[in-house]
Amino acid sequence: MERKYIGKPIKRIEDPRLLTGQALFTDDVHLHGMLHAAFLRSDYAHARIKSIDISEALKLPGVVAIYTAEDFGDYWHVGPLQVPPPIAIPGAKFHAKGLPPIAKDKVRFSGEPLVVVVAINRYIAEDAAGEIIVDMEPLDVVTDLEKAWEDTSVLVHEDIGTNMAALVKQEKGNFADAAAQADVVIKRKFYVDRGASGAMENRGLIASWDNRTQNMTIWTNNQAPIPLRNTCAANLGLSDSQVHVITAFTGGGFGPKIMTSQADDVLLPWISMKLCKPVKWIEDRRENFLATTSERDQIHYCEIALTKEGKILGFSDIFYHNTGAYDPYGMTIPLNTMTHTMGSYFVPNFYTEVRMVFTNTMVVSPVRGAGRMYGNYVMERMIDAAAREMKIDLVELRRRNLIQPDAFPFRTGITGQDFVENVLDSGNYPETVRKAAEMIGYEKFVKEEQPKLRAQGKKVGIGFVTFVEGTGVGPYEGAKVTVENSGKVNVATGISTQGQGHYTSFAQIVSEQLSVEPKDVRVTTGDTDQFDWGAGTFASRGMTVAGTAIHLAAVAVRKKILKLASKVLETPEDELEIEGGVVRVADLPGKSISLGNLASRSNPTRGVVEPGVEPGLEATAYYGPPYGATGQGAVAMILEVDPETFEVKIQRFVLVHDAGTVINPMIVEGQIMGGVQMGIGNAFYEELAYDEYGQLQNASLMDYLIPAATEMPPKMELGHVVSPSPLNPLGLKGVGEAGAIPTPACFHQAIENALENKIEITSSPMSPSRLFALTRK
């Protein structure tokens, strides 16, 4: 069936406004009488608070109020957890430690908020914060994961007597038996670190309590506006309908903006209510690095067991995961690591164990990839180690172990972040591998080009890995589609948008059903007054889950249109068609009615209506998948390593991707490229450098290296395979995190290949100096 709108690279409707500075971002909001908040944050990573003296700060003219934990009285409370504990997994041990909005008695990470200062402008608020004297008794700090697990002499949370945040084990088959039967067993230890999200726009929130209307309005750039509203209302004892959360345009989310129950969304509404004035807080870059969540280190002990033909019999992975000082986001990241380790491969026996540890560092929560990258990294590196030892070609060894197209739906036997068994819904893994190898010219490069380059003394290498991406997880999303009297269509859904083009791609889905041009479909996301049921934007689920809900609502509206038009035009429904904003009889184009007219007819202001009929051409629909849809792909790259400086230049980059049905190929390409940039960062440039005292040493863009255009490949060659998902009517899968997941493993493999396997890389990120050190070993 030829589609008119779906699958077309339509230019984004929201771009003209964004590019000409006409879009509203949170910081653009200025309200009459608005006050500004600044936080005083702890320098120490672990300390007892003895006293806080705000007297000098209060004297500064322009300071309106200063609050410590005590000043919030009973309102001060820990948490709640944003993600529930993993009770679905048998034997799981979990210590729930929600995030306190502001530190009381003890600080557990450098950057933890101590005091909120409210003043007439941010400058005065920060000056006042500088006048506050906090007397703290520094305690010993624990930052090393293995030490934190074994040693109880330094405890982040004394009341539980351990630094164990969680212990979860899952097994499919029996790894010990597999290892006993194998011809080859290889063991490795990996240290894998990621980094900050580095969104161009930082967190921000404006809380405005109007005492006369008894309503709270919150402007924010949060990825979960509905949970934020619900928690806020519950905290303040208000009705959900009294709190209105508006998500302005957002300059990138990538994960950390999903966090609710943080200092800003808990404390600022309370302060606004107390002072009866709007209060605004915009995070600065240093605060973002120090005190907004990031995704950090894991240590993996892996074993892979293979037959001498290179068939994987089993894989074992015992790993430590750093959750930081608290664990408000539950086990999402390590569960994603667990479900993504086996990847595209058939692994009949798999054992995975996570030891989640509290440390005196910032809280860890998902950043694009959300734990998937670690699983991918260790499996791909282990396969490379096996290929090296068994002298089998890297791509061939992977081919021999791919899950075949007839195996779907493929049950993996491992429970994931949505607390159900991870099932691979559809895919054609051999095809993505074949296509990627063909696009990069693998055979030709390895056999002809590389030897020539090596003879010239150039260190050029090729990398090739595969990956899977779990997307579109539940619980559900909803949407409302309405045809208005103007003939234009209004769409509202609960998730919010961070720049992934929802205003366009969602419009395309509706246009396909209602034959209204995308520019005449108005999409509203993240406004709780327009739609207030849903969970949020995370796990690459916006298009799959909210998009499907929008599709179902549009389908229902189309039915209503045809039913009413059939009555009005006195023609059976099957002889009607909708085209160009008009419903008409197929063979009699003169006999028609515009959608706008029909909408007016559907909502009379006088007369009587038939019983059971709903007014308007409107429908609300909800969609929740039984499990997430899994995308897959293969990445290949060719890069050159400078033999003296060990700087790396990417020469070619190929990514073949299967994300099911593609709504807007241009937007998908953008998403993939953005993910690749973050993957390149994680491979070679980005790292949050905490020292052993829990001090972050690079909390600025001077020292935290986000890849610029100069670090990117000159061109990204993207290929597509389409295996529609059977889980939703349009066959959609998510794609937002795809680029970030496989890139580090491919990057490191290519470096090893460039250096002719004289080194083995077992930690990420690498850097020129680390490479140099490895070559000197």
Partner 1 sequence: MKIEGEHTFNGPRPDVWEMIRDPEVLASALPGTQKLNKLSDMDYEGVMNVRIGPVSGSFSGKLVVSDEVPPESCTLTVDGKGAPGFLKGVGHVKFAEQPDKTTHMTYEGEVTVGGTLASVGQRMIDSVAKSMIRQGFESMDKALEARLANKAGQEVEYKPPTEAQFAVSVAKDMAKSWTQIAEVRMIMYIIPAAIILAIIGYVLSRIMTR
Q: Which of 37, 45, 509, 683 binds partner 1 (CB under 8 A)?
A: 45
Is 703 among the residues that bind partner 1 (CB under 8 A)?
Answer: yes
Residue 380 and residue 748 in contact, taking contact as beta carbons nearer than 8 Å: no
In angstroms, give the least distance from the CB of 296 to partner 1.
16
Which lies closer to partner 1 via its Cβ, residue 291 or residue 639? 291
Phi, psi of 272 (to 5 degrees): -60, -40
Which lies closer to partner 1 via its Cβ, residue 110 or residue 426? 110
Strand duo 763-764 + 184-192: pairing: parallel
> By rule CB under 8 A, what string of x and - marks binding of each residue 231-270 to partner 1?
----------------------------------------
Phi, psi of 271 (to 5 degrees): -65, -40
Is 128 among the residues that bind partner 1 (CB under 8 A)?
Answer: no
In angstroms, give the least distance from the CB of 231 to partner 1.
30
Per-residue b/e over 338-356, b at no fewer than 16 CB within 10 Å? bbbbbbbbebbbbbbbbbb
Q: Find the helix packing angle between 743-754 and 372-390, rounded to 10°.
A: 30
In angstroms, give the least distance from the CB of 701 to partner 1.
10
Is 693 among the residues that bind partner 1 (CB under 8 A)?
Answer: yes
In the sheet where 459-471 sits, what is the strand order? 459-471, 629-641, 648-658, 716-720
By CB under 8 A, the residues from 272 to 331 that bind partner 1 are 286, 289-290
Please choose, out of 40-48, 215-223, 325-333, 524-532, the segment that lies near partner 1 by the rule CB under 8 A.
40-48
Is 55 among the residues that bind partner 1 (CB under 8 A)?
Answer: no
What is the tally of helices (H) and strands (E) in the chain? 20, 30
The tokens for 60 are: 């500064």
Alpha helix locations (H) across 141-188? Answer: 145-150, 175-181
Q: Which of 404, 700, 757, 775 binds partner 1 (CB under 8 A)?
A: 700
**Amino acid letter, 428:** N
768 preceded by cis ω (within 30°)?
no
Please choose, out of 75-83, 327-335, 432-440, 696-704, the segment that lies near partner 1 by the rule CB under 8 A.
696-704
The tokens for 680 are: 């390149």
Which lies closer to partner 1 via its Cβ, residue 71 or residue 127? 127
Please choose, out of 41-49, 198-206, 311-319, 324-332, the segment that lies near partner 1 by the rule CB under 8 A.
41-49
> By rule CB under 8 A, what string of x and - marks binding of each residue 57-96 to partner 1?
----------------------------------------
Q: Which of 702, 708, 709, 777 binds partner 1 (CB under 8 A)?
A: 702
The count of chain residues that interact with partner 1, using the rule CB under 8 A, is: 19
The tokens for 582 are: 């008009």
By CB under 8 A, the residues from 130 to 149 that bind partner 1 are 130
Q: Which of 696, 718, 745, 751 binds partner 1 (CB under 8 A)?
A: 696
The tokens for 743 are: 């890139």
Which lies closer to partner 1 via its Cβ, residue 285 or residue 411? 285
Strand duo 204-210 + 279-282: pairing: antiparallel
Beta strands in 647-756 (DSSP E): 648-658, 716-720
Please choose, out of 270-278, 491-499, 549-557, 689-697, the segment that lies near partner 1 by the rule CB under 8 A.
689-697
Which lies closer to partner 1 via its Cβ, residue 46 or residue 584? 46
Please choose, out of 55-63, 216-224, 619-627, 691-699, the segment that lies near partner 1 by the rule CB under 8 A.
691-699
d(CA 546, CA 116): 37
Is 699 among the residues that bind partner 1 (CB under 8 A)?
Answer: yes
d(CA 660, CA 723): 5
Beta strands in 173-292 (DSSP E): 184-192, 204-210, 215-220, 243-247, 279-282
Please choose, out of 39-47, 506-514, 526-534, 743-751, the segment that lies near partner 1 by the rule CB under 8 A.
39-47
Q: Which of 110, 359, 426, 466 binds partner 1 (CB under 8 A)?
A: 110
Residue 390 and residue 379 in contact, taking contact as beta carbons nearer than 8 Å: no
Tokens 């809280």 -> residue: 363
Which lies closer to partner 1 via its Cβ, residue 287 or residue 484? 287
d(CA 720, CA 160): 50
In angstroms, give the least distance from the CB of 498 to partner 1.
26
d(CA 6, CA 665): 9
Is 695 among the residues that bind partner 1 (CB under 8 A)?
Answer: yes
Is 122 among the residues that bind partner 1 (CB under 8 A)?
Answer: no
Binding interface with partner 1 (CB under 8 A): 43-45, 110, 129-130, 286, 289-290, 691, 693, 695-700, 702-703
